[in-house]
Amino acid sequence: MGVFTRITDIVQANVIAALDKAENPEKLVKLMIQEMEETLVEIRSTSAKFLAEKKELQRTQANYQQSAQYWQEKAELAVSKERDDLAKAALVEKHNATLQADALSDELGRIEHTLDKLTQDSQALQQKLTQAKAKQESYSQREQVLTSRLKVNSQLHSNKIADAMARFELIERKVDDIEAQVESYELTQAKTLQAQFSELESSDKIDEQLAKLKEKVAHKAAV
């Protein structure tokens, strides 16, 4: 594919529409930018070649024009000396030089037209490249925003989990405290009940011992 055909294809392409319809617009925009930049490099190279050719033709044309002017002066000199034969020969050389100079004018005109077209195409292509890069920047910003949102949502999700775990642990501690209080109360109640029975048993023993002691004292008094 020639540079002019490629330029035409790119310039006529609707960059934004192509990107919007693409399944992978981020990848496509990178490829398009690469293609445009490579084409711009080729345009500059082609333009440089035409400019070099233009300068060379201009130098050659200037030489022919100088030659035509030289033979014009020689013809005038011959006429002044009444040498019509030399004047005619000089005019023939002038005519040939003029024809060569005029022929180069046509070639220079074609080169000028080509250079103008390359300049216009380069400007149009540069505009397309600017659009593509703007789209790429838009994708990059969207990616950064989405990445940031994902990170924030992930952090919020992690914080929610941490908060839930903290609340669960707090509830567990409260339940443990209540269970401990119940166990302590039940243990205290069990100890109190046991103590009461122990007191009853101890009281019966004391009463028994008191009765024996009274019986013993009464027996001594009777003796």
Tell which residue, 163, 161, 53, has the closest CA to residue 110: 53
CB-based contact 31:13 (threshold 8 Å)? no
User: For residue range 162-174, what is the model confidence (pLDDT) as tens digits?
Assistant: 666 677 677 777 7
CB-based contact 126:34 (threshold 8 Å)? no
Full domain range(s) for residue 104: 3-158
Looking at residue 82, what DSSP letter applies?
Answer: T
In the block, residue with structure tokens 């004018």: 105
Answer whether residue 58 is part of any domain: yes
How confident is the model at residue 1, as a pLDDT?
A: 44
- Alpha carbons 159 and 163: distance in angstroms, whole number: 6
Tell me the average pLDDT of the chain: 76
Which of 16-25, 75-84, 162-171 has the highest average model confidence (pLDDT)?
A: 75-84
Answer whether residue 174 is part of any domain: no
State the pLDDT confidence band at 219, using cuts at 50, 70 and 90. confident
User: For residue range 25-40, what is the model confidence (pLDDT) as tens digits?
Assistant: 677 778 888 888 888 8
- The number of distinct structural domains making up the chain is 1
Least trusted range by pLDDT, from 29-38, 76-85, 131-140, 153-162? 153-162
- Alpha carbons 149 and 137: distance in angstroms, whole number: 18
Tell which residue, 33, 41, 1, 2, has the closest CA to residue 15: 33
Answer whether residue 79 is part of any domain: yes
Query: Taking CA 47 as the corner, what is the angle to CA 44 and CA 50, rounded to the nearest 5 degrees?
Result: 155
CB-based contact 111:50 (threshold 8 Å)? yes
- 3-state class of 111 per DSSP? helix
How confident is the model at residue 200, as a pLDDT?
A: 65
State the pLDDT confidence band at 149, using cuts at 50, 70 and 90. low
How confident is the model at residue 160, as a pLDDT?
A: 64
Is the pLDDT at 112 greater than 50, yes or no? yes
Answer whether residue 211 is part of any domain: no
State the pLDDT confidence band at 72, using cuts at 50, 70 and 90. very high
Tell which residue, 62, 82, 60, has the closest CA to residue 70: 62
